[in-house]
Structure 1
């Protein structure tokens, strides 16, 4: 493509094609400082359509000088290490005071439009301008931007940058600056003369009822400090919603009446500045917990989430997502005498409505240890199935670019780590707030804790928090991961665009072909005998065997009621396999979640026995023939699979849900969360909050303690019954005993001379009672053998014993102490370590957390080429 000398005229974006004209001045300025990166759009939706018909991002440059400039050879890049990725073609001239738009896309340039060859990230990026000699003359660090929000010079052509509305090829129009709060969101003692001041060059409008100050009838013009005090003694507003046969009922049935008790409250201040020309700034939302010290201590000992949204988004009859709404009343009118229970899948109500149309904007703020963790504008929806009809509803929370950042950059769950890198997950596209409103919800956190440690079974990490909505106490919630393509990326290092997910029989991510694949596998299982090696191996090439075994072991052992073809997930990588990533092989894997109806809860269908004595294998009757249980049924016809399943199931009794371990988990959770369980009950069951937050009397906790004891009894007694039912179902002899061998990373273990394959750090197999076995341990280089515990305690590397009952034996390997740079754990720092680091930097070698820390030579929490320089120096110095 050739260009003649051109002057770029100041024109509208719509007529950019005519911007390149042939009027040529005789003299061109050579001062590169006159050429400015003036405005950048990283999330264009409507501000500009390129010649390919796409809403591509763009970069505007301005000639701020008094003479025309020949900018041929000037370049742009988004990567400082790459140099100029794009260069202006020969003959490109920019007139004095005029501007040019360059499209940030990978499409080729054409005669009317220039394309950079690179795109920009909406979550923040860098743009560098290079002069004709290849020198970087300007660098602009772009923050995260909303849709059609830009980052530009304010004023136009000036030295400072600010977020603003998009004005491609026109003078920058500075956004109205947000009002500045004198106090950050946080916890404050209830002292006299505590007041909030706001400042802005424009007029400030604010509200104290969580409504939007740019549209609310209650908005006031700020003129004096806003007093801050403990509002808990003030009348409830949003907590008063109940069932009252109107469109604002929060449940469909008539069994909920709001408590008259006064619940704890925070002060929510929402403010926006309004310019002289009538434009508003973005709304700023802050939450202040002003309370006596005992209350502050109560809320300091647990994370607190403040969810703030215009109350109409929750309670308006037409658009409120928390109420049954006018659509329910209309349905009742047209269906006189009809009744729908909370279990009906086709319920007609606002809070049963799903999809993006029923998502509402909200400000989400998290406090930890009384300190501000994060505050971000996000989207909220009602979560769940039948629980949507509960008075304490659950929420899904979404980070979206239309609200601000498309990701939440925060360590939301401290113990949540990638299965591949071992590093903490520090970025989320979504999460859930699940109400802990019933006794069954107390089970989720306890029973999920051991499952998180199983590499081949996906589940959701979580922790408890207290939720306030629009400044009023809502109660205890589980803050937990949410199923999404990004969940697969952050947990399994699979690119989000390559994740296929089927959840509860519905396609969540992927294509119809992915869904059809599962149905095809199910059909194959129904029509073929999987006792045949060829048929079994075909299914094993499509389904991860360890994963499906763990999923069904969990559901059967826990006696999960709303299961097996519900509360499950299947996922796979539909892209190319990734070297070193075992989860990228294209096989379908399972996830298990929503385990509240388990671990001791009993139902009429249980036949009047305790939960631990219920034969959950009845759920495996051949009449349960929906996917994925059809696949599991067929696999059980194969002896190899049957033996693997039986051995793994035994490890749930002896290891995964070992009784005393589970009792300890339940004890810990009771001690930590009992005050908040009681508070949740008071909030939703007509209770009266106690003034003394230091503890609760025995009668107040008796109900919850009894239910927790039901869980303890379940885990103490379940092994005997579960193993009996499993052996009967599989037709195994009562003389069969199962041995589980556990081992730390750092060595190999042999059983009767054969090396064991230790999936998730353990092996399980069946033997006959009375069999004598020999196990031996050999530590890897850099590790030391630490001894045997469990069925046998010994410091000898090889031991023999007789198996009498189902038992567990554990082998300890301890990593030796290593210095920085010793990446192969051989006790020295050498060229071999440099080769490993080079592979890691190039993306061909993954490190676990400990080796990654040793590779971080400069301690900047990043492993890169700078660490290679320091490692090379250390190797040279050591020679």
Structure 2
């Protein structure tokens, strides 16, 4: 009996041990254990000017180090930035010898060829995130002593100090070599806090600044420039604010990385209505005219006089002053703040590319203060084609969200009718010559000052109603360094990131073409589509079936109907975007720059054939498709769908959309 009882107890102990071992294997262990002496040695999460990968890209990178004497085969290991997915990126069958280093680019390119540079299937987050090695056999995780790791900075390495076990910001990146012995900083100065938030004010305030880092000194500026220890005023007491002020501040401490620059715009509407013709720090002109333009009284070689003043005939008239104030508070406001020297892009509108991109602080302010906006740093460029002409009175802008400036994307639910909450670029459309700063044609027939600002927004909103997708937009009042710059339409750009977000796939799979040519991606399928159109004979069923595999027929029909209905006089040869997903997707077309609609009513024009830039692909494509009976029937069906029975283009719905937009502004 005793023996049996002993056997039963022994059996239960064995079962419990087995279960415990099984549970342990199914629950990855978190900690600083370093299996086989394999370590995450250092990494760079914001690589801008350092190491390049084989594609020439400055991809982020992670360095592994085998601190032992024995070689380690990595086929049983993986890298991860997600504790819930420890096996996120598995190493190929590759051996790391004792004392050797291995570099893995954190590029999201997912390359595992052991004979080529390795690329993980994720990128590193500069704000800080989890990072670990995982051993698939022991099912245990090896993390750094600081995981998630803290916020990272441009071209700065984070890793082990020499051979020590502790991690920190290193003096310099050393890929493939022993780490630096000294740390760049002991820590990071905490973010600043402001006693008054950005927004609209009508009474004097005194703004106090705070940082939680003991011993840190705060420096600030009020002219739009970035504050520094040598370029800002030392904060010693509350800052009195009595008029429109751009307060930028940062905190510094010896051997610490300074806090991020914080920007708060305090806008006083009385100041804005009294905006003078010669505001402080702004230039009196934007360069000189390079050619004559009678409509604008532009004379080659003469200065382009800057127009800053709020029209006193309106702003100083008691009948209009209060309505103006209410109007400025009826829409969200966008405040762009930067060093005044960065507005050189406005005086050089023809210049393009990164060389003419300038850093800017961007603040979205809701006047009622009830809805929270945002502040983010970004890049700013001039946007547009015709709007780049120096004689145009009002320029468009494009905003770029990059890790160079801070966040790699704007994370904010910007458009009420869109599920998207993340953006890498946005466009500020100013209406070019069709705005309140426009002109009267020399024939005195067309007065471009009599505008609505809503034509393009109506066109894109209508495409959304008809086909489900187009660029979303909102209206904002724009301020440049505290000066009112006018009414703008803030919109999405239909690029590869837009396509990925709304249509799926990966950004790299999408081809984007517009009237100026290729924007990005392989255009093989797009070119094949238009080759089929040029070849014609689409009345043949097999040829029509082939072109259907390259074109979203119903979406294209909707696109044509919309432009005809609106009487668009500047499309076909101009103002379009086409998106194609490779390797087997269909091309779809998107409305863009629709200011020249609603001039003479509906019009079935398809644009010019011999216009400058890209050939008129749309006209050739439509005429080729029209030869097919099935296409003609589909076109008739879509016409009926949209023009009758509560369709998107019935008089009632088209007018309601138009009135909604115009009531808004």
The two structures share one fold, judged by TM-score above 0.5:
yes
The partner residue of 1:148 within 131, 155, 177 is 155
Alpha-carbon spacing, 1:535–1:89, altered in 2? closer, same or farther (3 Å):
closer
Give a deviation string over 1:10-49, Cα, whole Å, max 9, x none: xxxxxxxxxxxxxxxxxxxx98599985643234344446
The partner residue of 2:427 within 426, 432, 452 is 432
Q: Distance in 1 between matches of 2:359 and 2:102?
A: 33
Query: Which residue matches 1:802?
Result: none
Q: Distance in 2 between matches of 1:90 and 1:513?
A: 40
User: Is residue 629 of structure 1 aligned with residue 619 of structure 2?
Assistant: yes
Q: Distance in 2 between matches of 1:31 and 1:645?
A: 66
Alpha-carbon spacing, 1:630–1:361, altered in 2? closer, same or farther (3 Å):
same
The partner residue of 1:308 within 337, 340, 365 is 337
Query: Which residue matches 2:356?
Result: 358
Q: Distance in 2 between matches of 1:154 and 1:296?
A: 58
Alpha-carbon spacing, 1:107–1:642, altered in 2? closer, same or farther (3 Å):
closer
Give the deviation of 1:532 after TM superposition: 3.3
| Structure-to-structure mapping, 1:150-165, within 5 angstroms | 150-151=157-158
Give the deviation of 1:630 after TM superposition: 0.8
| Structure-to-structure mapping, 1:86-125, within 5 angstroms | 102-104=103-105, 120-122=123-125, 125=129
Give a deviation string over 1:60-79, Cα, whole Å, max 9, x none: 5799xxx9898969966314
Q: Match of 1:444, SS?
A: helix
The partner residue of 1:542 within 543, 550, 567 is 550
Alpha-carbon spacing, 1:57–1:558, altered in 2? closer, same or farther (3 Å):
closer
Q: Distance in 1 between matches of 2:400 and 2:609?
A: 40
The partner residue of 1:498 within 490, 498, 509 is 509
Alpha-carbon spacing, 1:162–1:244, altered in 2? closer, same or farther (3 Å):
closer
8 Å CA contact 1:430, 1:481 repeated in 2 = yes
Q: Match of 2:604, SS?
A: helix
Give the deviation of 1:56 after TM superposition: 5.6
User: Is residue 135 of structure 1 aligned with residue 140 of structure 2?
Assistant: yes
The partner residue of 1:617 within 596, 604, 610 is 604
User: Is residue 194 of structure 1 aligned with residue 206 of structure 2?
Assistant: yes
Give the deviation of 1:486 after TM superposition: 0.6
Give the deviation of 1:401 after TM superposition: 2.9
Give a deviation string over 1:183-204, Cα, whole Å, max 9, x none: 4652264444522335564554
Give the deviation of 1:461 after TM superposition: 0.9
8 Å CA contact 2:569, 2:607 repeated in 1 = no
Give the deviation of 1:649 after TM superposition: 2.9
Alpha-carbon spacing, 1:76–1:226, altered in 2? closer, same or farther (3 Å):
farther
Q: Match of 1:594, SS?
A: coil
Q: Match of 2:535, SS?
A: helix
Q: Distance in 2 between matches of 1:669 and 1:52?
A: 45
Query: Which residue matches 1:172?
Result: 183
8 Å CA contact 2:606, 2:618 repeated in 1 = no
Query: Which residue matches 1:598?
Result: 597
181-190 or 223-232, which moves further after superposition?
181-190
Please report the RMSD computed on the Cα atoms of aligned residues, expressed in angstroms.
4.6
Q: Distance in 2 between matches of 1:120 and 1:552?
A: 40
Alpha-carbon spacing, 1:88–1:560, altered in 2? closer, same or farther (3 Å):
closer
Give a deviation string over 1:815-844, Cα, whole Å, max 9, x none: xxxxxxxxxxxxxxxxxxxxxxxxxxxxxx
Q: Distance in 2 between matches of 1:164 and 1:234?
A: 48
Q: Distance in 2 between matches of 1:483 and 1:405?
A: 21
Q: Match of 2:502, SS?
A: helix
8 Å CA contact 2:420, 2:501 repeated in 1 = yes
Alpha-carbon spacing, 1:633–1:294, altered in 2? closer, same or farther (3 Å):
closer
Give the deviation of 1:468 after TM superposition: 1.3
Unaligned runs of 5+ in 2: 1-31, 245-270, 313-321, 437-450
Query: Which residue matches 1:377?
Result: 377
Give TM-score, length-normalised by structure 1: 0.53
8 Å CA contact 1:238, 1:472 repeated in 2 = no
Q: Distance in 1 between matches of 2:553 and 2:484?
A: 45
8 Å CA contact 1:76, 1:129 repeated in 2 = yes
Query: Which residue matches 2:541?
Result: 533
Query: Which residue matches 2:243?
Result: 230
Q: Distance in 2 between matches of 1:213 and 1:515?
A: 49
User: Is residue 641 of structure 1 aligned with residue 631 of structure 2?
Assistant: yes
Unaligned runs of 5+ in 1: 1-29, 264-292, 315-319, 324-349, 417-423, 577-585, 602-610, 674-879
Alpha-carbon spacing, 1:89–1:310, altered in 2? closer, same or farther (3 Å):
same
501-510 or 176-185, which moves further after superposition?
176-185
Give a deviation string over 1:723-778, Cα, whole Å, max 9, x none: xxxxxxxxxxxxxxxxxxxxxxxxxxxxxxxxxxxxxxxxxxxxxxxxxxxxxxxx
Q: Distance in 1 between matches of 2:54 and 2:360?
A: 36
Query: Which residue matches 2:43?
Result: 40
User: Is residue 322 of structure 1 aligned with residue 346 of structure 2?
Assistant: yes
134-143 or 445-454, which moves further after superposition?
134-143
The partner residue of 2:307 within 242, 245, 258 is 258
Alpha-carbon spacing, 1:410–1:166, altered in 2? closer, same or farther (3 Å):
farther
